Amino acid sequence: MKNLFILLIFMFAFGFGRAVYCFDFSNVKLTPKVSASQKYDDNITFASDNKKSDFITTIALGLGLDYQTKLQSLSLSGNLDVNQQLFMKENEFNNLSQSFTLNYIKEFSPYTRISFTNSFDHKEEPRSFEDEFGRTDGRYSYCLNTAGFTLTKDFSKQLTCRLNYSNQVYKVNRADLSDSSLNKIGVSADYYLSSAVILLSSYDFSYREFDPGDSSYTNSFSGGVRRYLTPKLYLDGRAGIDFISGYNDRTFTESFFFSSLTGDLDEVTQARLSFTRQSSTNAYTQDVFNNWRFSGSFNRQLSGKVKFLLTAFYGKGKYDSSSVEDTNSGISAGLNYDLSENLTGFIRCGHSEKTSTDKTNEYKKNTLSVGISRVF
């Protein structure tokens, strides 16, 4: 699997290199950005007892990239962010984090195209409610890189097929935890019954390996439907079955279900609501994680200068070999205020909580932050 990933990277680099050679760099748009914020966190270590609170100053530098050819046969976009966090009291937690994303799309014809995506994160703590779910508790740094390659072919106006490959590498800076990698290959097909109704189907094979540790593989089959309620609002429903082998020679046959509502409710309001129930492997633990979760986001432009943002999460999970069941919940709300065309002030408040049948796993966490950002 590692050799396959190297081969795909080489193929991409060869094609990408030829594309760069033909770039019209006058079409490249670079967008520098900078932000500064002050945050109060009442539980910086995600602890159940002896909690530590602190004020955290964050200085962030970023660079956005966008490239489009006039014929729209090639597009390239990316984003780089570097964040310096300074703790007022607990100086040993001062850190520098980085994130990087890249998206590359090349059209060979009106019916055939490839895409390559890469996402890299180096962080000292989970930055979202989803990141906290199923994770081993505590404050520790990690690196996560996810790369994906997709070949898409439109066989007709009704039928679109895809060949997918992705690789994920998870490195953790904690002696009692293992690094992990995931290689995944699959095929999918979309069939348009009409402009508003699309049938979805897919098959994926994935291989996850821990170092040091065990490995597992999964065969996954799924089918579903996408229904457009309006041109910009759609409902997804998908169900399937996973055949999981590995981790002490155990085998599992598990069903899963996913549904979501995504899109624009009106010209100034965007929303997403999703529900997932599944039993699957993950990057953190050499076990099968049985879980279900709700998540949602809601953004609304209250006026020409003020935007409201809301995210929420609720999930319950249990690892197969453990008798411990954890429940994670969280909510975050914020406002953006455009001080000028390129200058924005913001305020955020959040609450996350974990309850468990093992009381030592529990914690509560509240945050409040204010800041300012500028795009050049």
Residue 347 falls inside a structural domain: no
**pTM exceeds 0.85, yes or no:** yes
pLDDT for the residue 248? 83
Residue 346 falls inside a structural domain: no
Rg (CA), the chain: 22
Band the pLDDT of 282: cuts 50, 70, 90.
very high
β-sheet bridge partners, residue 160: 154, 190
Residue 106 falls inside a structural domain: yes
Whether residue 27 has pLDDT greater than 80: no
Structural domain span for residue 82 = 2-288
**Count of residues for the chain?**
376
Band the pLDDT of 319: cuts 50, 70, 90.
very high
pLDDT for the residue 70? 64
HEC assignment per residue over the chain: CHHHHHHHHHHHHHHHHHHHHCCCHHHEEEEEEEEEEEEEECCCCCCCCCCCCEEEEEEEEEEEEEEECCCCCEEEEEEEEEEEEEECCCHHHCEEEEEEEEEEEEEEECCEEEEEEEEEEEECCCCCHHHHCCCCCCCCCEEEEEEEEEEEEECCCCEEEEEEEEEEEEEECCCCCCEEEEEEEEEEEEEECCCCEEEEEEEEEEEEEEECCCEEEEEEEEEEEEEEEECCEEEEEEEEEEEEEECCCEEEEEEEEEEEEEEEEECCEEEEEEEEEEEECCCCCCCCEEEEEEEEEEEEECCCCEEEEEEEEEEEEEECCCCCEEEEEEEEEEEEEECCCCEEEEEEEEEEEEEECCHHHCEEEEEEEEEEEEEC
pLDDT for the residue 29? 87
| Per-residue pLDDT tens digits for 152-199 | 999 999 999 999 999 999 999 999 999 999 999 999 999 999 999 999
- With a pLDDT cut of 90, the percent of the chain lying above it is 79
Whether residue 249 has pLDDT greater than 70: yes
- Tokens 């590498």, residue? 169
Q: Which of the residue ranges 26-35, 63-72, 257-266 would you say has the lowest mean pLDDT?
A: 63-72
CA 19 to CA 27: how far, in whole Å? 14
Residue 323 falls inside a structural domain: no
Band the pLDDT of 137: cuts 50, 70, 90.
confident
Band the pLDDT of 10: cuts 50, 70, 90.
very low
Band the pLDDT of 25: cuts 50, 70, 90.
low
Residue 311 falls inside a structural domain: no
Q: Do residues 287 and 254 lie in contact, with contact meaning Cβ atoms separated by under 8 Å?
A: no
- Tokens 């929303």, residue? 271
Residue 354 falls inside a structural domain: no
* Mean pLDDT of all residues in 303-308: 96
Residue 352 falls inside a structural domain: no
pLDDT for the residue 297? 98
pLDDT for the residue 139? 87
CA 253 to CA 279: how far, in whole Å? 9
Residue 215 falls inside a structural domain: yes
Band the pLDDT of 12: cuts 50, 70, 90.
very low
**CATH number of the domain to which 127 belongs:** 2.40.160
pLDDT for the residue 13? 43
pLDDT for the residue 68? 80
| Per-residue pLDDT tens digits for 42-97 | 999 998 888 999 999 999 999 999 988 765 567 788 899 999 999 999 999 999 99
pLDDT for the residue 71? 56
- Mean pLDDT over all residues of the chain? 91
Band the pLDDT of 14: cuts 50, 70, 90.
very low
Distance of CA 246 to the CA centre of its chain: 26
Using CA atoms, how far residue 324 sits from 130, 286, 290, 321, in Å, is 19, 15, 11, 9
Number of domains in the chain: 1
